[in-house]
Structure 1
């Protein structure tokens, strides 16, 4: 396309059009996309505005997330005198690609013409900020926002080799790392930026977001409070502070901030504020208020897939025919943002499942999973290798040879492990009903320790962990165990036991038993078909990338079963298994056995755990507030035909083992 760009730069628009149309049939993919874009540019400069608009319509039908195309559409609409539509398109362009300085500048002028001076000034400041950046960094920013992360990374790294302390290049590289889930690198880079420029608030904002994703909520809260107090009128800072207040259970503070944001109407994502408020209300058990918040988000932005999925994710909400029609139109509309379309597909899967239309339900679940999988960087072979490394390192001989560690604490963590959607939230609810047990959440601290032991490798061929444990002294191992207890203290308030419900900790039981030998391990297990299908139907807020394909789910479940068998062999008698179906069928005996394992007396309220008043942040929040029941057992059988590939991938041997349990 370089020759086309030169022709346009020389104002040879007719020649550019002629060449583009000659080459059109030979192009595909990104090249075809760019040709349509440049054709629209040429039409606009020739004042053939209707043809420009038609070309852009075709372009955006095929690529609805192409921010630059929305910018060109806005330019065209502005030339047509459609200033309201133009402003809307500029903001859509900015939403998709915040590095488009021309959109910021043009939106600033349009806001000024409407006497919106404050917004005009904010827009112009952002345009000026982008124009001050070196052209390489501006190019990297554009590539980053167009999803071309590796190209953007290459440009940033080359630039930083020549300019090692350029803070915007470091910040951009950090954001690329965060997008690629290399969160430790992103955190390190942003910390370095803030050492060089302590008052760089945009970098601090990004740093807080990374800390938030790493669930370092206490540290993130401290920085978010500083930003908010420095600039209380900034809606982005207020929303971030509200979210972190919610994460740390400062409920009243968070709800007040959310209400202020909604009433002030300053934030450009009011629908997102309604959803965040709904999540908090759901966690604290105010379901009807949560529903109202989610519905307000739907009204605020009808194409906001997350709002509809949040309703579906209550598991108890029944969609009306009108709501289903709205979702179907949005899911099938090529202009709907990909992330919204993914949410709509999962929500529609749930809606049609409730209506008994199982074939249509599965079609939407499948479509949602395929779209989500297409956005993932998950590598099943890397995970399988890391699971194998656990088996190879933690042999019976190695476990006996590792130093004995004794942490300085009278608090006992209870790790509830397994697969997502295996009934672990119910187990935690039962445990947390006991006067000596405190329920926390899915804590990220053990995976973070494992990640730090692996060093700055990301997906190395030969990870350092777990064999790096051989290099650690007993004192260092004790420090790591005490680090876990210190980091999790913010989630506790003094009980003798506390739960950590991160399901993926089953991959780190060797590490847990090395650092915290007094820890209790509960394996929450469920019928393989029910468990895998339930995970397949779930759109997770983050992580669990293995769940977006039946083949990956089956492989992960098999690896889980094999690894748990290994842990039971090398740590005999240390792990208590709770079979969900047995818990449902015979709750009193199973609950008594659970507390016998913990050496705790059974308390009457543990048999009525659904009445416990505590926050629950997982997808099962509404289900565990109902008496124990068999509603979730055998759900997969309604989809037996569609789930034949899953059954085959799990294997006859595994299914027979389950039936013989």
Structure 2
């Protein structure tokens, strides 16, 4: 069905709901259709509007929690999941696990997440999703021992659970190509029975393990296989489309924005740039300072940006008033305040926010931006060696990664021209080589005193939810600089 046809069908279902507000089947159809149309906010609002007609229906409360969770309305989602539990929903271990995932991924509270997963396991000790998510939470905490323990607990219960072996690869360093984990993962890949999505992850894991032990030719073969397979799951990257987006952004966000003098509380500090360019490392180091809170990858502006792109960047810019932008900014500050309860600097680390700086600056005139960068080929390889989602579909080709990086450099030059000193660039290789100088420069810019504890960032106990989780649990090392030379013969 065409997009217009889907829209017409959704409007028809919504009208029927107005006439039959007690019809749960209609509500499920409408919410599912809105979700299919990639409108999670509308799906959640539909369920939230009509769920009071089904107060005693555990399944309806569960579905409401699900749609609210997808829309990022986490506190409300938990409330409805808890109502489903109170109504005696079957398989309560699934509900507790979903609550744990909200705490883990949405509210960034691993302590509460782990309590929810353990509650699920109290009800059903062999419930694999809870074990798997519990292992994942310990990995984010930097606890290799507990992470490995629970991934192995998954394997004890389901020896063919391939993804548990994949995740073990993150916490395991292979010593040779005959490593037992490598052999097991190869058996999965060569058996040909795993779903495509799992084969992709297995190939990436095998690339990582062979890179560990210096088997670079085999590592490249597996990474190439992983990216070739991954490319089949998403639309091909279109450089002309990306260039058009770049020019549209530049055309619509050209006017400087005057700061109000640092009056915002909390103080928003955005860390962005190319994926795998050192943004997680920098956030960990900055977050060790008493006056800075690590916010991680917040979804507020990326969610808004999806709405902006659906409407059209030009149309949105023309209709949005200064008061509208101020309201967006206030909503963001309240969102951060509720999440972290901190009045100092709070970092928001989303690499792809570099494309949103114009929108963010209009909403938050006092915002400051750090853009991380890295040696070109090292950055390209690190992206190529990481499985990224469909929104980063350039990542399946080194040539496309280079082309994307070139466009981001044009965009950075534009933001530097428009926003001047509110944009600072931090070079990963310089940070690793001389962290005190690089961090000192950032603290001076933020008008903060130097604190030596920022050099002990690897000892922090916060959760890290990016592919860099294990890199930032170690003291600074320089081995990632110049890594491209191991694969030089494969690079043009």
2:228 maps to what in 1?
A: 370
Task: Using the TM superposition, give the Cα deviation of residue 603 of structure 1 relative to its aligned residue in structure 2, in angstroms.
Answer: 0.9
Query: How far does residue 607 in structure 1 lie from its aligned partner after superposition?
Result: 2.3
Q: Provide, for residues 384-410 of structure 1, a one-character-per-residue CA deviation record: whole Å limited to 9, x for no partner.
A: 433321111122xx336xx87799733
Tell me: CA distance 1:545–1:303, structure 2 relative to 1, closer, same or farther (3 Å).
Answer: farther
Residue of 304, 321, 325 corresponding to 2:183 = 325
CA–CA distance in structure 1, aligned partners of residues 344 and 9 of structure 2? 53
**Structure 1 position 527 matched with structure 2 position 384:** no
Matched with 2:246 is 387
Cα distance change, pair 550–207 in 1 and its aligned pair in 2 (3 A): farther
Counterpart of 2:290 in structure 1 is 435
Find the aligned partners of 2:64 and 2:393 in 1 and give their Cα distance.
24
Cα gap change, 1:318/1:507 in structure 2, threshold over 3 Å: closer, same or farther? farther
Large movers: runs of 4+ above 6 Å: 151-157, 317-320, 403-408
Q: Which has the higher contact order (CA 8 A, sep 6+)?
A: 2
RMSD: 3.2
Check conservation: 1:406, 1:478, Cα contact below 8 A: no
Cα distance, 1:249–1:450 mapped onto 2, change above 3 Å: closer
Q: CA deviation at 1:363?
A: 2.0
Q: What is the TM-score normalised by the length of structure 2?
A: 0.87
Superposition map of 1:437-456 within 5 A: 437-454=292-309
User: Cα gap change, 1:540/1:208 in structure 2, threshold over 3 Å: closer, same or farther?
Assistant: farther
Partner of 1:338: 196
Q: Which runs of 5+ in 1 are unaligned?
A: 1-149, 458-462, 645-661
Residue aligning to 2:20: none
Residue 124 of structure 2 corresponds to: 265
Aligned to 1:590: 438
1:599 is matched with 447
Match of 1:359 in 2: 217
Alpha-carbon deviations, 1:499-552, whole Å to 9, x = none?
000111100111121111111100111112111211221124785343233343
Number of residue pairs the alignment of both structures matches: 482
2:162 aligned with 1:305: yes
The structure 1 residue matched to 2:256, chosen from 399, 403, 421, is 399
Residues 257, 513 of structure 1: alpha-carbon distance in 2 compared, 3 angstrom cutoff: closer
C-alpha change, 1:159 and 1:328, in structure 2 (3 Å) is same
Query: For 1:40-59, what aligned pairs fall within 5 Å after superposition?
Result: none
- Residues 239-250 of structure 1: matches in 2 within 5 Å? 239-247=97-105, 248-250=107-109
Are the aligned partners of 2:103 and 2:109 in contact in 1 as well (CA < 8 Å)?
Answer: yes
* 8 Å contact kept, 1:235–1:266: no
Give yes or no for contact 1:153–1:173 (8 Å, CA) kept in 2.
no
Provide closer, same or farther for how the CA distance between residues 317 and 544 of structure 1 changes in structure 2, counting only shifts above 3 A. farther
Distance 1:155-1:425 versus aligned 2 partners, 3 A rule: closer
Query: 1:210, 1:636 → 2: CA distance?
Result: 43
Do 1:281 and 1:290's aligned partners in 2 also have CA atoms closer than 8 Å? yes
Question: For residues 502 and 209 of structure 1, do their structure 2 counterparts lie closer, same or farther at Cα, with a shift above 3 Å needed?
Answer: farther
Offset of residue 431 of structure 1: 0.7
Give me the TM-score of the superposition, normalised by structure 1: 0.66
Greater shift after overlay, 307-316 or 592-601? Answer: 307-316
Conserved? CA contact 2:135–2:147, under 8 Å: yes
Please state whether the residue corresponding to 1:640 is helix, strand or coil. helix
1:249 CA displacement: 4.6
Aligned to 2:28: 171
TM-superposed CA distance for 1:240, in Å, is: 0.8
Tell me which of 575, 580, 597 is aligned to 2:428.
580
Q: Is the 8 A contact 1:530 1:633 kept in 2?
A: yes
Contact 1:262 1:273 in 2 (8 A): yes
Please tell me whether residue 411 in structure 1 is matched to residue 266 in structure 2: yes
State the Cα deviation string for residues 180-216 of structure 1 (Å, max 9, x = none): 7443454455446636656655455444344434444
